[in-house]
Structure 1
């Protein structure tokens, strides 16, 4: 069975398919770092090309399977709160489907963020931007890859023509893994890779430099973003190790709602971010898979954008018609050789112990956050280099937030008069009914 991998990235699709017995004969991507990583781990059958202008005559012949993950940036809610350019994102979906239509493979599978499922359902209809490809699509699903043994809650849209029922039956055969299964596996002199049945000695691991603990200010800002966000519900801080990790993204600043922060066992009461190697393991990559990129942030991007090869392995098994009774997991199969070259370690930036005096600030005033995102919020701006503090009253649903600016006199009344707070609570309760 021969396959090609479109928008291949570092090779998450290709690695899993190769482990399952599907031969990937070509990979195509535009990122030079992703292609270098793919080439050094999986071979030279990969090339740089823009999928939007791809010449079909350059594609291999006799292809049975087409897989790939078009860019999700325009569709992701992590991008400007979901305000990306959907029309631009759809161009990549069209480019992928056009190749499928040209090749007419026996099977094809596309992966993307959950939002793409609704885009397919609407744009495949008459008059939609994907209408001309409606004859290609057999199924559209949203699945959580944690159900396939990934130690991460990662909901993904899976679209295509493939044995979906067989694939989903594999979920009953896979173990549930928590984040602690990955974190704890790095604590001895070697890393035991449970997902792929391998042992890598600690001094042979790349990209496992544990950075400095978060500063007190970074901890405070994380607490504010995660547990007291102005709009969204609170989340746990630090992240729980007793369940699959939250979804890894392609960015990971030290201070953000999306960043995964865990206890730093080196010092009681301190916290840290995940290492690159821990992130790669949570994404279902073997411990000896090497990532080649010029910076720490670039490697985070490569890892976060990848399709977990643990999942693509099970897709490959389904494509080959492996029954649940004959299913062998990755750790039960023969290992494959990856990059003989260890990737250079890329260090995270040193901790910034002093925050800029010109940084922007936004926080809910303590005691003035009510239900449904209703709140008094303080923020700052700078006029001719001098800070100006602003207090606004926000109310409404997350998709229809309305704002009233408060003058200094009104603010003093609200802060000093407890009856004003009681009226706000009554107003919010009546508005929620």
Structure 2
């Protein structure tokens, strides 16, 4: 197929670009602010030639004293791999409008929203880059776009604003959370995907993406082999009883200080006690105080961050109450962590010869990225298998291919019960059947049964999109009839559309009736409350009037018998 032309914003080390390349896309531009990540990106992707990184000192033009700020001068930005500050929309927006790519992808910085950080959200200056991504979409007007980030992004005002921008631009949106372990990577990395298609209905990508999802999660054992790790007997401390929970700390918190930050935790003990006899364990540095260190290879790896590759630490020693020695747990090497994230074994991380700017004035030359930079690149990278699945799903949509059933195209086929993943038939409300009999005048029970069968099928075809109302599903069904159900004859397609439209009409009437009943109920309650208040007021007025009459009544003095 002819490859779609893609621009990768916030490209990092190239995880998204690698996945799109495998899916047949042509990467025409990759932008990022991190020079070390750009060096890794350029060295590994064949379609982006080496040597395109700038050899002269990189001083952003708006900070230069030798010339005025550049605005929209495309001659400054011809490199395929480009060092860019995407906050400078006036420099990169015109270029994006000139390139006019078919698709723009990118993951704006997740640090403002990630649970692994302080979660400053909209108060973090980097949150503005989320809106910068949307402005680049407005400039380039691609047919498709994909924005990737952590699920916590959806709670921010920045995300709500960009969604409004996307809709104003005419994009139909697919907003969904995806787990990389279901799309070819042995890492339980949950990410939020907001994908747009110009002049399409919402939920357009779900049915295409679903076909590439595995029926089970890819595990560490699948990637690193079933012999990786250690058994429970290998890591227990001889002579110590297996306690069912971590003992409480002493008053002076002595146990908390031993071994520094790394120590056996309650979750570690629970995992060990619930393990199977055949389970094998490994060590993975956690992201929080309650996150376990002990992991089982029959599960996917936890989300890999820049700190995941750190070991137990040289100062660690088991506490007197511990019965598991964390030092005996094997830990994946950096190359194995890279494989768990979905990168190929020959991916080059240690790339020599790049320059980085410090404070935009002092240049620091480094022979290769530091280990900290490399680990952070891996933690920030989009899993290439997930990116490939997204790319293939979008390519299928662009070619109007008919989506197939789940896992028939899965890149790394899993096993499991497919029945658990099959969608259930829509349950038709009894009131709707009565409405059909009264308004559509079906003469035979067979006609009514066929109408309800058409409704269930129409609902099933659009169920994966997760739309809020039947009216939205009716708009999406037109697209499904053009693509997925194109082989059907005109009569059957018309019947499906009519069945869903009739149900939408009934649903509108039913909602209006319920709203009217609710309004009447509220009115009666209001009248009752006002009536009770009026009765109380009337009683008070009567009491005050009685008191006034009694006060105005003249005093009658009786005569004494003596008088």
CA-to-aligned-CA distance 1:162-203 (integer Å, 9 cap, x gap): 54223432244566311122222897xxxxxxxxxxxxxxxx
CA-to-aligned-CA distance 1:125-169 (integer Å, 9 cap, x gap): 6xx576444424513222222121321111101012154223432
Q: Which residue is equivalent to 1:298?
A: 373
The answer to whether 1:238 aligns with 2:318 is no
**1:273 aligns to what SS in structure 2?**
coil
Q: Which residue is equivalent to 1:285?
A: 343
CA-to-aligned-CA distance 1:356-397 (integer Å, 9 cap, x gap): xxxxxxxxxxxxxxxxxxxxxxxxxxxxxxxxxxxxxxxxxx
Residue pair 1:109, 1:160 contacting (<8 A) in 2 also: yes
Change (3 A) 1:62 1:132: closer
Q: Which residue is equivalent to 2:186?
A: 151
Residue pair 1:75, 1:89 contacting (<8 A) in 2 also: no
The answer to whether 1:31 aligns with 2:41 is no
Whole-angstrom distance in 2 between the partners of 1:3 and 1:226? 43
**1:14 aligns to what SS in structure 2?**
helix
> Which of 45, 49, 54 is equivalent to 2:84?
49
The answer to whether 1:310 aligns with 2:366 is no
Change (3 A) 1:101 1:129: closer
* Structure 1: gaps spanning 5 or more residues: 188-215, 257-266, 333-433
Give the 4+ runs in structure 1 shifted more than 6 A: none
Whole-angstrom distance in 2 between the partners of 1:22 and 1:327? 22
* Structure 2: gaps spanning 5 or more residues: 50-79, 198-203, 229-256, 270-287, 314-324, 351-367, 414-563
Residue pair 2:130, 2:162 contacting (<8 A) in 1 also: no
The answer to whether 1:110 aligns with 2:110 is no
Whole-angstrom distance in 1 between the partners of 2:122 and 2:291? 29
TM-score normalised to structure 2 length: 0.46
Residue pair 1:124, 1:134 contacting (<8 A) in 2 also: no
Whole-angstrom distance in 1 between the partners of 2:213 and 2:130? 31
Residue pair 1:77, 1:83 contacting (<8 A) in 2 also: no
CA-to-aligned-CA distance 1:104-144 (integer Å, 9 cap, x gap): 1111001001101233xx5566xx57644442451322222
Whole-angstrom distance in 2 between the partners of 1:272 and 1:8? 32
Aligned residues between the structures: 287
The answer to whether 1:254 aligns with 2:311 is yes
Q: Which residue is equivalent to 1:135?
A: 168
TM-score normalised to structure 1 length: 0.59
> Which of 100, 103, 113 is equivalent to 1:75?
113
Whole-angstrom distance in 2 between the partners of 1:317 and 1:304? 24
Whole-angstrom distance in 1 between the partners of 2:372 and 2:289? 28
**1:27 aligns to what SS in structure 2?**
strand
Change (3 A) 1:129 1:177: closer
Residue pair 1:16, 1:309 contacting (<8 A) in 2 also: yes
Whole-angstrom distance in 1 between the partners of 2:186 and 2:217? 7
Tell me which protein shows more strand as a share of its residues: 1
Query: Offset at 1:271?
Result: 2.3
The answer to whether 1:324 aligns with 2:361 is no
Whole-angstrom distance in 2 between the partners of 1:174 and 1:36? 37
The answer to whether 1:3 aligns with 2:6 is yes
RMSD: 3.3
Change (3 A) 1:268 1:311: closer
Residue pair 2:265, 2:292 contacting (<8 A) in 1 also: no
Change (3 A) 1:169 1:74: same
Residue pair 1:149, 1:174 contacting (<8 A) in 2 also: no
